[in-house]
Every structure is written in structure tokens, then in C-alpha cells.
Amino acid sequence: MNELAGKHIVLGLSGGVACYKAADLCRQLIKEGATVQVVMTEAAEQFITPVTMQALSGRPVYGSQWDAREPNNMPHINLSRVADAVLIAPCSADFIARLVQGRADELLSLLCLARPAQQVPLLLAPAMNREMWAHPATQRNLAQVAQDGAVVLGVGNGDQACGETGDGRMLEPLELLDELIAFFAPKRLVGHKVLVTAGPTFEAMDPVRGITNLSSGKMGFAIARAAREAGADVTLVAGPVHLPTPRGVRRVNVQSAQEMLSAVERHVQAATVFIATAAVADWRPSSASAQKIKKDGSGNAPALAFTENPDILAIVAKSAHALEGDLFCVGFAAESHDLLAHATAKRTRKGVPLLVGNIGPAAFGQDDNALLLVDADGHRELPRASKRVLAQQLVEEIALRVPSRRARVSD
Ligand code: CTP
């Protein structure tokens, strides 16, 4: 989607097996529209060659502060002045220690030290053995570099090249890409706690069957991601969908509408924004059979009775928390026709300040959609675009309608 278009990234590699992942990371950054200047330490060149990184980035790699290709012979100045960010991936334990000490005896640490820190952020993707990661010296150094202004990205957990298992693996290239995109996103919802419902619900008839719908959860997941990128603390209550959890988002899996309501009730008190994107089943079988319902040979279908499910959005919108103005509620409306009329009526019926209408059959399962925003002042269309873009636009619209909580955060 070219989310990094116009961004120039200095990708620094220090020594570690995870250098092999840096090759893919470089490709992913370029695929998202960034230009990438690779800088490698001598140790990194033991793990992957500059030839590979040059081929992938389309630019000669720098590895020495004595590189005579620069007319002024100052690559540490020239490369750092034009960067939008410096990302060290992999960032070894040794390199972190070097940053802490402000060492400048090789190009990459020299460049980090010489960069204009206010304009060029430094992001670190640590990669090391679990014992090295857990060592107090490393943890002390990480705390220090963070205090000095670096953004320390997390590490993964799992099998390590040494055969051990634990914390310290470098994040995967796509995870790092998401982190970088999130880093550049405008922080419009800092201090907010956003609760999102997404996906369908599944209402059991018996242990193997149930009632559900075609909601894919894509819109809700995209909104959760965009809200987190905007700086919010995000909890996503998800019905049964096969979608990866957006990075940094807390996910609570549920099946039925009643489970969704309980999960929402558990988290809503702390929330400042509630976004109900879930396609909650309107009815559930009145009693689910404990055993599989068998055909009785008569040719007749079993007679099922249904009970209406609780309206989660309406319940939340009527709570004291929302009525006192501490919770901004956003509803969705999946309609098949007369979108504006239905969405306007639904906004009033549900008692929410903002209702987002869409044509259900054209939206379910698709990667793109078109939205109609209805509030007390009227309506506004968000034309057809990817759900990712629409989610970013919707988060922007919500941020315009909720009080800024930046000041409270720094209290
Ligand atoms: N919703 C909810 N709980 C329900 C039903 C709906 O929280 N039991 C929320 C949805 O997440 C959405 C909004 O209410 O934000 C509207 O959902 P929709 O299915 O379009 O409307 P319904 O209330 O079910 O009305 P109808 O089916 O008559 O259009």
C-alpha cells in the first residue's frame, strides 16, 4: 500500500544470525515505498554479505567510516542527515552496549551518535540468545538507551539458532515493518483506551452446529490496528475469525453474543472509546443441545426455538459511563438498502453519537468497502477504499470527536 512512501530509512545491521531476516526486511521496506540505505558492521558482514544487501536495497552498502566514496569522507554525517529514521535490525547486545557508551569507533555506532537525535529517531530491534537478553547488563543497557531516546522494539520468543528456546529472537520482518509504520503514524489517540468488537458470533445449536454469519472481522481488526498506531491502548473482543492479532493489541476471543457481552462488560469500564463493528447474531437457539441432534427419520427438521440476543452496543451506550460523557460510542450498521435512512434511524435507536453505515453484502469478507458516517450534524461519505485506509480515516474522525488525553498522560 506504499505506507512508507517518501521515507528514507537507514537500515543498520550489527552482528547476529538474524542478519538473514534483515534481507527480507529490506525488501519489505522497499515494497512499502521506502528508500533504504544499508549500513553494516564488520560483524554483520560475517553473517550476510554486502552484495546481498546492495542487490536488495539497490544502493551500495556502507561499512566503514573511511569510505572514500563520500566527497567529504563523512558518511556518518551525510547518511544520518537525510534519514527519516535509523533502524538497527538486528541490534546485538554488544551494539546496545556501544550505544550506551556513545562509542564512535566504527561507522554504524558513529552514525547513531552523530545523527540529529531530535529529527532522526533511532529504533532498535534486539536479537540475541535468551541468556544474553535476560542478563542484567543487557536489561540495564536497554533501559539506558531508551532513556537516551531510542525506541526499543520488542523481541520474539521461540527456538533460537543456538538450540535454546526463549526470549531474544529478533521480530520477524513483517512485524518490524508494522512497528515502523505504526511509529510514523500520527498519535491522535494517545491516552485513550479503545475497546473494539469484531467478527461474527457463533450461536451453538449443539456441539457441532450453530448459527453464524459471513462477517470476516477485517474491518474491526483494521480499526484496532489503526487505533493502536494512533497511540491508543486497544482491546479487541473478537468472534470466531482466522485473522492475526494486530501488533500491540490485546485480544479476547469469544464465540457467542453472550460471551461477547461479558467480555465487553469486563473491559468497558476502563475504556474511553467503544467501537462496535461485530456482526452480532440477533438470535440464538433458546437451548443448545448437549449432544449432536440426530435426524429422527421422519423427514422433518427439528423444531428450534430462538431467543433474542442482548444488544451489546445499546447496553453500553445506555450505561452511566457513556451517558456521563466518559465513553464515546461508535456503532456500525450493515444494511442491504436505503443506507442513509437506516443508518440515521439506527444511530438514534442505539443512542450513539457516531454511526458508521455500510452495505453489508458488498462489505463482508472483502478487502475494501465504502462507509457512510452519520452523526448529529449530518452525514459524510468515506469513498470506497481498502479497509486499512478506511480504518485510518475513521480513527482520524473519532479523534476529532473525543477530548485529547495527552495532558492526562503526562500528569
Ligand atoms: N450490535 C450489538 N449487539 C447486537 C446487535 C448489534 O452490539 N446484538 C451492534 C453492532 O456491532 C453494530 C450495531 O449494533 O455496531 C448495529 O448492528 P446491526 O446488525 O446493523 O443492527 P441491528 O441492531 O442488529 O438491527 P437490524 O438487524 O434490525 O438492522
Query: Do 8-184 and 193-410 have matching folds?
Result: yes
> In angstroms, rounded to a whole number, what is the distance separating the alpha carbons of residues 233 and 404?
14
**pLDDT > 90? residue 188:** yes
| pLDDT at residue 125 in the model | 98
Provide residues with CB under 6 Å of ligand 1: 197, 257, 276, 278, 280, 282, 309, 311-313, 331-334
In this prediction, residue 343 carries a pLDDT of 96
Residue-wise pLDDT tens digits, 155-175: 999 999 999 999 999 999 999
Q: Would residue 162 show up in a list of annotated catalytic residues for this protein?
A: yes
- Please report the atom of ligand 1 found closest to the CA of residue 316: 7
Instruction: Say whether pLDDT at 410 is over 50.
Output: no
Is residue 92 within 8 A of residue 13, CB to CB? The reply is no
Q: Is 168:155 a contact under the CB 8 Å cutoff? A: yes
Question: For residue range 285-338, what is the model confidence (pLDDT) as tens digits?
Answer: 999 999 999 988 898 988 889 999 999 999 999 999 999 999 999 999 989 899
Calculate mean pLDDT across residues 243-265. 97
**138 touches 91 (CB < 8 A):** no
Distance 279 CA to ligand 1 centre (A): 7
For residue 407, name the pLDDT band (cuts at 50, 70, 90).
Answer: low
The pTM of this model reads 0.93
Q: What does the pLDDT look like over 25-43, one tens digit per residue? A: 999 999 999 999 999 999 9
- Which amino acid is residue 71, in one-letter code? P
What is the average per-residue pLDDT within 364-375?
A: 91
Please, are residues 92 and 15 in contact by the beta-carbon 8 Å criterion? yes
The predicted structure's pLDDT at residue 408: 58
CA of 369 to the centre of ligand 1 (A): 18
All residues at 6 or more sequence positions from 242 whose CB lies less than 8 Å from its CB, including other chains: none
* Cβ–Cβ < 8 Å for 112, 77: no
pLDDT tens-digit profile of 103-120? 999 999 999 999 999 999
User: For residue 75, which phi and psi values (nearest 5 degrees)?
Assistant: -60, -30
Cα dist from 344 to 172, 262, 328, 357, 361, whole Å:
44, 28, 17, 9, 19
Give yes or no for a cis peptide into 90 (omega within 30° of 0).
yes
Domain boundaries, the chain: 8-184, 193-410
Domain 193-410 CATH assignment equals 3.30.420.40: no
Ligand 1 centroid–CA 378 distance in Å is 21
- Cα of 311 to ligand 1 centre, how many Å? 7
Q: Which atom of ligand 1 is nearest to the CA of 309?
A: 8
Residue 366 has pLDDT above 90, yes or no: no
Please report the beta strands in 141-202, taking only residues with DSSP state E, as ranges in sequence order: 151-152, 156-159, 165-169, 193-198
**Which pLDDT score is estimated for 365?**
79
The answer, yes or no, to whether residue 1 has pLDDT greater than 90, is no
The CATH code that applies to domain 8-184 is 3.40.50.1950
Asked if residue 222 lies in contact with residue 391, where contact means CB atoms within 8 angstroms, the answer is yes
CA distances from 53 to 34, 49, 95, 314 (A): 15, 7, 20, 54
Measured CA to CA in angstroms, residue 11 lies from 21, 70, 118 at distances of: 12, 18, 18
Residues 219 and 390: their CA atoms lie apart, in Å, by: 8
